[in-house]
Amino acid sequence: MKPRTTFLRKAARQLLKDCGITDPPVDLQIVIKKCGLGYDEVDYFEDDVAAIIIPMEGRVVAVVNQKTSLTRRRFSLAHELCHHLFHKDRGALQDITTIDSPPEYSEYDEAGKKDPFETEADIFAGELLIPLPMLKKHYRPGHTAEDVARIFNVSRGAASIALTSHFSALFK
């Protein structure tokens, strides 16, 4: 399966438009409320669990590992939001995910190839947090990935990927 890059970028931008978010940093609390999710941060997740969206007490809640950095929590939440919105049918093939039984899958298959669903979630998260229209509006010649990271409240790595993937659009 090839990742649906264009579709996911458009979907992320539409979600921001529906939420009335036009400037960085993106307020993910507004986004998850618009999607009908609750939100909680916990300190008891294992280090390898950054975030998960689970049914809990009759509602669906985005639960984030508060032991991770703020930028990691933001990206992980946006990543999981993609799974919630666009990969629900994948869950039918897996055991029910609950707080007591988190998912047991890896980002990579046996051949070391990244799972296309994980790639899609990364694409969506990147565009949700650093959407091209906002990047065009706030990027200035000479800005570094560090500058973009600060403006959008994301990691330097996420900013670098956004700058690289939108390079030609920024310099038209």
The count of other CB atoms within 10 Å of the CB of residue 54 is: 20
Residue 139 lies in a domain: no
Residue 86 lies in a domain: yes
For the chain, the domain total comes to 1
Q: Measuring CA to CA, how many Å separate 104 from each of 4, 20, 76, 78, 95?
A: 24, 36, 17, 20, 9
pLDDT interval class at 92 (50, 70, 90): very low
Residue 16 lies in a domain: yes
The tokens of 149 are what?
A: 């990271």
Burial track 16-42 (b if 16+ CB lie within 10 A, e otherwise): beebebeebbbebeebbeebebeeeee
pLDDT digits (tens, 9 = 90+) for 93-134: 344 444 454 445 445 455 566 789 999 999 999 999 999 999
Per-residue pLDDT at 57: 85
Residue 171 lies in a domain: no
Q: Give CA–CA dist 64/74, Å, rounded.
A: 9
Residue 135 lies in a domain: no
Q: Mean pLDDT in the chain?
A: 88
- Tell me which of 54-58, 60-64, 73-77, 127-131 is least confident: 54-58
Give me the CATH number covering residue 37.
Answer: 1.10.10.2910
pLDDT higher than 70, residue 148: yes
pLDDT higher than 60, residue 51: yes
Residue 68 lies in a domain: yes
Name the residue range of residue 25's domain: 5-130
Residue 97 lies in a domain: yes
What is the rounded average pLDDT of the residues 71-79?
97
Residue 92 lies in a domain: yes
% of the chain residues with pLDDT over 70: 85
Q: Measuring CA to CA, how many Å separate 77 from each of 21, 38, 109, 128, 140?
A: 17, 12, 23, 11, 28
Q: Give CA–CA dist 132/33, Å, rounded.
A: 23
